[in-house]
Amino acid sequence: MDTPQHHPHARRTDTRGRIQQVALELFAEQGYEKTSLREIAERLDVTKAALYYHFKTKEDIVTSIAEDLAQPIRDLIDWAESRPAGLETKQEMLRRYSDILWGSADFFRFIQENQATVRELSIGETFRTSMAALGNLLKDPSAPMAAQVRSVTALFSMHAGMFVTQNVEGDPEEKRAAILEVALDLVAQAETSSPLAG
């Protein structure tokens, strides 16, 4: 059996990741405002000083998670901008966004449940800018208004679908596939009503 390669920062990254995960769990259970760094340290079974080594504040933790997520979204925007506009690119964009979204589901739940807090944090503007850029890549400004609304709704239907299905019984992959199918359908409908379609 092969032994995994150990990188010099692997342990630090693992600790950092555990702190992020536990913080999100506590924020979900108690709310961001009511969770203290001490409670995060206790849940991790580390000293507050050990936690401080990685993060000085709760905002630092949330910002670090947002920064980790921002890069794959930036990469997706760069990829989409380098491709010819059209249904195939838009649908592949949604597939890739689905991977990002479900890979960071806990953080997107945090954003949804703590909207007032997120607006006050620096990550709020970054998130809004990214969503606007993705929306602009999905819509055709020369298309009828209903088609533009469908295109942008495709993106947000993925967020809404994730929240709607979180308390619904069923296989997570089946839920994810259903949500993606709805988003892909919306973009396809928008494309068929575009003046360039056909």
Q: Where are the domains of the chain?
A: 8-56, 62-192
Please choose, from the candidates 33, 77, 76, 79, the residue with its C-alpha nearest in 3D space to the C-alpha of residue 58: 33
Residue 24 main-chain phi, psi, to 5 deg: -60, -40
The answer to whether 96 and 117 have CB atoms below 8 angstroms apart is no
Q: What is the pLDDT of residue 65?
A: 87
Please choose, from the candidates 68, 89, 113, 84, the residue with its C-alpha nearest in 3D space to the C-alpha of residue 187: 89
Q: What is the pLDDT of residue 12?
A: 44
Span 32-39, average pLDDT: 92
pLDDT tens digit sequence for 148-157 = 999 999 999 9
Name the CATH code of domain 8-56 (choices 3.30.365.10, 1.20.120.1200, 3.10.20.30, 1.10.10.60). Answer: 1.10.10.60
Give, as one character, the DSSP assignment of residue 142.
T
Q: What is the pLDDT of residue 5?
A: 40
Q: Is the pLDDT of residue 196 over 70?
A: no
Superfamily designation of domain 62-192: Tetracycline Repressor, domain 2 (1.10.357.10)
Which tokens belong to 117?
A: 């807090």
Q: Is the pLDDT of residue 26 over 80?
A: yes
> Amino acid identity of 156?
F
This prediction has a pTM of 0.78
How far is it, in rounded angstroms, from Cα 198 to Cα 196? Answer: 7
Q: What is the pLDDT of residue 96?
A: 96
How far is it, in rounded angstroms, from Cα 157 to Cα 130? Answer: 16
Chain mean pLDDT for the chain: 85
Does 62-192 match 8-56 at the fold level? no
- pLDDT-based confidence at residue 19 (cuts at 50, 70, 90): very high
pLDDT tens digit sequence for 167-190 = 888 898 999 999 999 999 999 999
